[in-house]
Amino acid sequence: MTASDQIKDTVTNNTVVLFMKGTKTMPQCGFSSRVAGVLNFMGIEYTDVNVLADDTVRQGIKDYSDWPTIPQLYVKGEFVGGCDIITEMTLSGELDTLLKENGIAFDQAAADKIREANG
């Protein structure tokens, strides 16, 4: 299986996927930590893929999405964005809307707290 096949399989067979440096419990870069922190705080169930564990996946995800940076968040097989986009979507409420539209459970009070703390 090629890296592209492996990535496609992962994003299509999991509802929410975060390609990141490190893991959801031990992020290994600030940007990955920020996105994982948001997802964890909001109680979103997601699959984490540590790109540091496999160089072919690390480059493969950039090619797959045509996006040059990591982390990368996917919801229902669709690329959502990286750290800056997820941060903006969280603060604007767009992430809440995306999650609701896709039937993904999350803690609304936690999402509101993030906005309150950064407003």
What digits encode the pLDDT tens for the residues 12-38?
999 999 999 999 999 999 999 999 999
Residue keyed to tokens 């299509």:
12
Cβ-in-10-Å burial (0-12, 13-18, 19+) of 11 comes to: buried
pLDDT interval class at 1 (50, 70, 90): confident
90: closest CA among 21, 48, 39? 39
Mean pLDDT calculated for residue range 55-78 = 96
- Say yes or no: domain 3-118 is CATH 3.40.30.10: yes
Q: Is the peptide bond before 71 cis (omega within 30 degrees of 0)?
A: yes
pLDDT interval class at 52 (50, 70, 90): very high
Q: Where are the domains of the chain?
A: 3-118
Contact 18, 46 (CB under 8 A): yes
Tell me: is residue 83 an annotated ligand-binding position: no
Predicted TM-score (pTM) of this structure: 0.96
Mean pLDDT calculated for residue range 59-85 = 97
pLDDT over 90 at 119, yes or no: no
Rounded distance between C-alpha atoms, residue 35 and residue 69, angstroms: 13
